[in-house]
A and B are shown apart, each in its own frame.
Chain A
Amino acid sequence: MSMEDILDRILSLCEGIDYADARFASEERTTILLKDSSVDRITSGTLAGYSVRVLKDGSWGLASSNDPSKLREVVSSAIKLAKASSKRSMGSSLAQEKVVSKRFEFKPKQDARDVTMDAKVNALKELDKEMLEKGISTASIGYSEMTREYRFHNTEGAKLYSSAPLTRFIFEAFVRGETLDVARKSLVRHAGFETEKDAHKTAAETAQSAAMMKNAGRVPSGNYDVIVDSHMGGTMSHEAVGHPCEADLILTGESVLSGKLGKKIANDCISMVDDGTLFPLSGFIPFDDEGTPSQKTQLIKDGTLVSYLHSRETAAKMNTHSTGNSRADSVYFFPIVRMTNTYFEPGDHSLEELVDLKKAVIIEGFSGGVVNPSTGEYQFAGQTGWLVENGEKTKFLKNLSIAGNVMETLKSVDALSKETGEPSAGMCGKSGQSVPVGDFSPWMRIRNARVLGS
């Protein structure tokens, strides 16, 4: 049975329900990990699975399997689960959206599946060699390619199909001085093996960053004017603003932005967007996991909160339309409200103007952090940075974090640069699910921010 036949068969078995959708994905994956200039492990294989989500009397049930011979059992399980949930029904419904049939197929310039394993390993070894030439102690390179065929059908008549590759290069450069320091960067795109050509630049930047860490200094913890780069700014757009804009968190009162729609939450210079149409960024989706086409959603406009991010379910509860942000980790999971690619829109300053201060700290890169969406408190660790004195970069820094409260930080941003930096890619975790996302930002100046240094 073809993928399309399986989904049609599943929906034909869904009797006595109010709505159902069925998803099928087939993924061809290869990963290679290079450590200490040797191949540590290679993984390669194909996975396929399907699920059905059923709505009955306002309650959901979802069942999934990777065994095509169990269609009837899986459908029966989903209906049984929905009925069991009706003991305390959510009263769920879906916002009315246009029924879409869409096909998105992207053929890369160089399909990674056509590249031999020898060629891939040799390319990684060449990247490793180039990194070591920058004076680092050792490097680790992770490469992964995935070609995903995905199909979505529902009982409203929607039929959507997509096929696109996702290629990842993840670099870690280690440098041993008084301590062992590490710099990390990645390059992730919906593209084929042609991505390798641009990976050389990312690899070199990672190694250079690590090499400089050997002699980097620290800055005492305290309050500084801070200028953050595209990686840190992009992360702030995702973690500090994007998550609190997710309508499921708004509905449960877990977001600091509950009740703030239409209100001023940031300085006039701040405008922010979630955009799932940005191809080939890692957060690109042609349509979400409820079959809604992706779109550009303005979240903050000139400092005012103008929209939340919605699934069809949250949109129905808030009497609006889906923003195409209902995403699932895989077909095995319920779709929930997620971001795609987030970014702050550019300002009208040059970087030189932003750093023209008596004393400031520049934070570059992102190496992890936490945010509490309900209170807005956050702490984000950068990788490196600079101390700025009288408008000049005077000391290279490492191991520094920025901490604060989202609502206060948004009102403390007073300038953004004209240029935006390279997009970052990551996996965003929520409710035990992980989806690829992207983010970027112009250089952003935050006045009187809390810096955690030495």
Chain B
Amino acid sequence: MTDMERLATLAAKEADEAEVYKTSFRSTLAKSTLDRINSTEEKHSAGYGLRVIKDGRVGFSFFTREEDFGKALSTALSTSRHSQKLDIHFSDTGRFPKVKGLFDKKVSEMEEGEMVDLVVSSIDMQKQPGIDLLENFLTRYVGETSIATSSGCFAEYSETLTQFQPIVKSGEEAIAQEEAQSHGMVDTRGLTARGIEAALRTRKSAKLEGEHAIYLHRYAIEELLGKLFAPLIDADDVARKQSAWHDKLGKAVASESLSVYDDPTIDDGISSMPFDAEATPARRRAVIEGGMLASFLSDLSSARLLGTKTSGNAFRPSFTTQPEVGYSNLVFDSEERERMSEASGVVIQLVMGAHTANRATGDFSVGIDQSWLVKNGEFQHAVRKCTLVGNFFEILKNLRLADDDTSDSPYMGPSWVFNGKLV
């Protein structure tokens, strides 16, 4: 019996069920400012989240040292008395899918000096005419997640993750930022080259207004997904009728060629994992199929509120928080694709202010940056910062997909293509 299983069994002596969740990690950051290494930092952290079920109610507490387990158990039992009676049960399974490519030994063993060397190499690439250096961030994460329940479940996996973000400036206004993640070593030089190209492209911009074909890059898509799409398919918001799609299951919500999947089982996927934060085995799930809303994402509690089974989408930002609903790898797919090499319209890499959108009506107005006009796939000129206005629901209903699929972020899909208005 592992220590985790022992704690879960011990807790269940005073509760009906118990679950112990543990994360331990080491993260390292190397950051440069202008042409110098600004700072390097390393964080070691380990801690436990303890959930109990008593009389159908969930209680929670967290602790960092095993000797504080007794106090945490007492707090969890005390908080359970006030929770809503949901009659959920913690995971009792011991079978999880094998997901490859989550851990890279080289990343785990990389020395701090190697990380600094990679950032220095990126700085040196950026030292060229027309480019002003700003900042580079390289992070490395090495972590382990484990869960034990009093129902006999024990699950664990290890993960490495690297992330690189170069930010470069060209001229007075053009600031370009690129970003990518990988469970292996992220391509720092490739990203730096992309950042330099984006900065040089947007150095001199021209005003552009009116209706255009929009090619929305994955950075901009992720902003809209987090602020607008995720709440639509979150079972907790659906159960409370705070999602505009709460009554749309089985109905058309997107263009009929579009399918969207939440898939934590993809090998090497950035948000892949064998199980979620409640030890529910990972599996691929259709969210939208052929334009029709196929399912919502849920954890144990929100599924109970909705009267369904969990979809295995429980996430915990930290051991100090209870699970909440989130998406893993979000795959956007369509058989019909538009070639970026023939694109004519405005490519938008960054949007800002999606959180000000109206979630009920879908109306939004977002600032755009790192954008340019293309004709037959050829760069024409950068577009001066302005505002993209539109309706998110209408965009989904008329959405077309390009052919530039990416896999270096939790959004796994190509650029979005739709008709939009710049003001």
Name the segment of B149-157, B253-261, B282-290, B357-365 touching the other chain.
Answer: B357-365
Q: Which residue of B lies closest to A248 (CB)?
A: B33
| Complex interface bits, A176-204 against B, C-beta within 8 A gives 1, otherwise 0 | 00011100000000000000000000000
Roughly how many angstroms separate A416 CA and B353 CA in the complex, as a whole number?
28
Partner of B41, one of A48, A81, A248: A81
Question: Is the Cβ of A38 less than 8 Å from the Cβ of B84?
Answer: yes
Question: Is the Cβ of A59 less than 8 Å from the Cβ of B361?
Answer: no
Question: Is the Cβ of A62 less than 8 Å from the Cβ of B242?
Answer: no
6 more contacts with CB within 8 A, not counting A61-B41, A84-B112, A89-B37, are A44-B61, A67-B44, A253-B132, A332-B43, A377-B385, A381-B353
Interface residues of B (CB under 8 A from A): 30, 32-47, 58-64, 68, 71-72, 75, 78-79, 81-84, 111-113, 115-117, 120, 123, 132, 134-135, 169, 173, 175, 240-242, 244, 320-322, 352-353, 355-356, 358-361, 363, 365, 367, 369, 385, 387
Question: Is the Cβ of A63 less than 8 Å from the Cβ of B41?
Answer: yes
Question: Is the Cβ of A370 less than 8 Å from the Cβ of B352?
Answer: yes
Question: Is the Cβ of B60 less than 8 Å from the Cβ of A41?
Answer: yes
| Complex interface bits, A62-83 against B, C-beta within 8 A gives 1, otherwise 0 | 1111110010001001101110
| Complex interface bits, A82-94 against B, C-beta within 8 A gives 1, otherwise 0 | 1011111111000
Question: Is the Cβ of B64 less than 8 Å from the Cβ of A47?
Answer: yes
**Minimal beta-carbon separation of B32 from chain A (angstroms):** 7
- Measured between beta carbons, the chain B residues less than 8 angstroms from A223 are none
- Measured between beta carbons, the chain B residues less than 8 angstroms from A65 are 43-45
- Measured between beta carbons, the chain A residues less than 8 angstroms from B175 are 254, 374
With A67-B46, A90-B33, A180-B360 in contact, is A48–B64 under 8 Å at CB? Answer: yes
Q: Which residue of A lies closest to B353 (CB)?
A: A370
Roughly how many angstroms separate A409 CA and B400 CA in the complex, as a whole number?
39
Question: Is the Cβ of B83 less than 8 Å from the Cβ of A39?
Answer: yes
In the assembled complex, A117 has its CB within 8 A of some CB on chain B: yes
Question: Is the Cβ of B358 less than 8 Å from the Cβ of A377?
Answer: no
Partner of B32, one of A84, A86, A88, A179: A88
Partner of A252, one of B46, B60, B134: B134
Interface residues of A (CB under 8 A from B): 29, 32, 35-36, 38-49, 59-67, 70, 74, 77-78, 80-82, 84-91, 117-118, 121, 138, 174, 179-181, 248, 252-254, 332-334, 367-370, 372, 374-375, 377, 379, 381, 399, 401, 403, 452
- Measured between beta carbons, the chain A residues less than 8 angstroms from B132 are 253
Question: Is the Cβ of B44 less than 8 Å from the Cβ of A90?
Answer: no
Question: Is the Cβ of A81 less than 8 Å from the Cβ of B79?
Answer: no
**Minimal beta-carbon separation of A428 from chain B (angstroms):** 15
**Minimal beta-carbon separation of B404 from chain A (angstroms):** 26
Question: Is the Cβ of A174 less than 8 Å from the Cβ of B358?
Answer: no
Question: Is the Cβ of B353 less than 8 Å from the Cβ of A174?
Answer: no
Roughly how many angstroms separate A42 CA and B57 CA in the complex, as a whole number?
11
Q: Which residue of B lies closest to A403 (CB)?
A: B387
With A63-B42, A87-B37 in contact, is A46–B63 under 8 Å at CB? Answer: yes
**Minimal beta-carbon separation of B302 from chain A (angstroms):** 10
Question: Is the Cβ of A379 less than 8 Å from the Cβ of B353?
Answer: yes
Roughly how many angstroms separate A46 CA and B240 CA in the complex, as a whole number?
31
Question: Is the Cβ of B42 less than 8 Å from the Cβ of A81?
Answer: yes
- Measured between beta carbons, the chain B residues less than 8 angstroms from A78 are 42
Question: Is the Cβ of B82 less than 8 Å from the Cβ of A121?
Answer: yes
Question: Is the Cβ of B40 less than 8 Å from the Cβ of A84?
Answer: yes
- Measured between beta carbons, the chain A residues less than 8 angstroms from B116 are 84-85, 87-88
Question: Is the Cβ of A368 less than 8 Å from the Cβ of B356?
Answer: yes
Question: Is the Cβ of B117 less than 8 Å from the Cβ of A45?
Answer: no
- Measured between beta carbons, the chain B residues less than 8 angstroms from A42 are 59-60, 79, 82-83
Question: Is the Cβ of A44 less than 8 Å from the Cβ of B75?
Answer: yes
**Minimal beta-carbon separation of B75 from chain A (angstroms):** 5
**Minimal beta-carbon separation of B297 from chain A (angstroms):** 17
- Measured between beta carbons, the chain A residues less than 8 angstroms from B320 are 29, 43, 45, 47
Most chain B CB atoms below 10 A, which of A121, A179, A333: A179
Most chain B CB atoms below 10 A, which of A40, A46, A403: A46
- Measured between beta carbons, the chain A residues less than 8 angstroms from B120 are 87-88
Most chain B CB atoms below 10 A, which of A29, A88, A370: A88
Question: Is the Cβ of A90 less than 8 Å from the Cβ of B41?
Answer: no
Q: Which residue of A lies closest to B358 (CB)?
A: A399
- Measured between beta carbons, the chain A residues less than 8 angstroms from B72 are 45
Question: Is the Cβ of A374 less than 8 Å from the Cβ of B41?
Answer: no
- Measured between beta carbons, the chain B residues less than 8 angstroms from A74 are 44
**Minimal beta-carbon separation of A133 from chain B (angstroms):** 20
Question: Is the Cβ of A43 less than 8 Å from the Cβ of B46?
Answer: no
- Measured between beta carbons, the chain B residues less than 8 angstroms from A253 are 132, 169
Question: Is the Cβ of B37 less than 8 Å from the Cβ of A88?
Answer: yes
- Measured between beta carbons, the chain A residues less than 8 angstroms from B68 are 46
Roughly how many angstroms separate A94 CA and B115 CA in the complex, as a whole number?
26
- Measured between beta carbons, the chain B residues less than 8 angstroms from A375 are 173, 385
Cβ-closest 10 pairs across A and B = A45-B62, A42-B79, A81-B40, A381-B356, A62-B41, A179-B360, A180-B360, A65-B44, A85-B37, A370-B352
- Measured between beta carbons, the chain B residues less than 8 angstroms from A377 are 367, 385
With A67-B46, A81-B42, A174-B242 in contact, is A117–B78 under 8 Å at CB? Answer: yes
Roughly how many angstroms separate A118 CA and B302 CA in the complex, as a whole number?
24
Question: Is the Cβ of B360 less than 8 Å from the Cβ of A181?
Answer: yes
- Measured between beta carbons, the chain A residues less than 8 angstroms from B365 are 379, 401, 452
Most chain B CB atoms below 10 A, which of A32, A80, A82, A370: A370
With A42-B59, A43-B321, A66-B64 in contact, is A88–B35 under 8 Å at CB? Answer: yes
With A36-B240, A252-B135 in contact, is A64–B39 under 8 Å at CB? Answer: no
- Measured between beta carbons, the chain B residues less than 8 angstroms from A81 are 40-42, 112
Q: Which residue of A lies closest to B324 (CB)?
A: A41
**Minimal beta-carbon separation of B242 from chain A (angstroms):** 7
Q: Which residue of A lies closest to B78 (CB)?
A: A117
Question: Is the Cβ of B356 less than 8 Å from the Cβ of A369?
Answer: yes
Partner of A369, one of B82, B353, B385: B353
**Minimal beta-carbon separation of A195 from chain B (angstroms):** 20
Q: Would you mind naming 24 contact pairs between A and B with Cβ atoms under 8 Å apart?
A: A32-B82, A41-B58, A41-B322, A43-B321, A43-B322, A46-B68, A46-B71, A49-B45, A60-B38, A62-B41, A64-B42, A66-B46, A74-B44, A80-B112, A85-B116, A87-B120, A91-B36, A252-B34, A254-B134, A254-B175, A372-B352, A379-B352, A379-B367, A401-B365
Question: Is the Cβ of A66 less than 8 Å from the Cβ of B45?
Answer: yes
Question: Is the Cβ of A62 less than 8 Å from the Cβ of B356?
Answer: no
Partner of B38, one of A48, A66, A90: A90
Question: Is the Cβ of B64 less than 8 Å from the Cβ of A85?
Answer: no
- Measured between beta carbons, the chain A residues less than 8 angstroms from B81 are 117
Roughly how many angstroms separate A375 CA and B169 CA in the complex, as a whole number?
12
- Measured between beta carbons, the chain B residues less than 8 angstroms from A174 are 242
Roughly how many angstroms separate A118 CA and B321 CA in the complex, as a whole number?
21
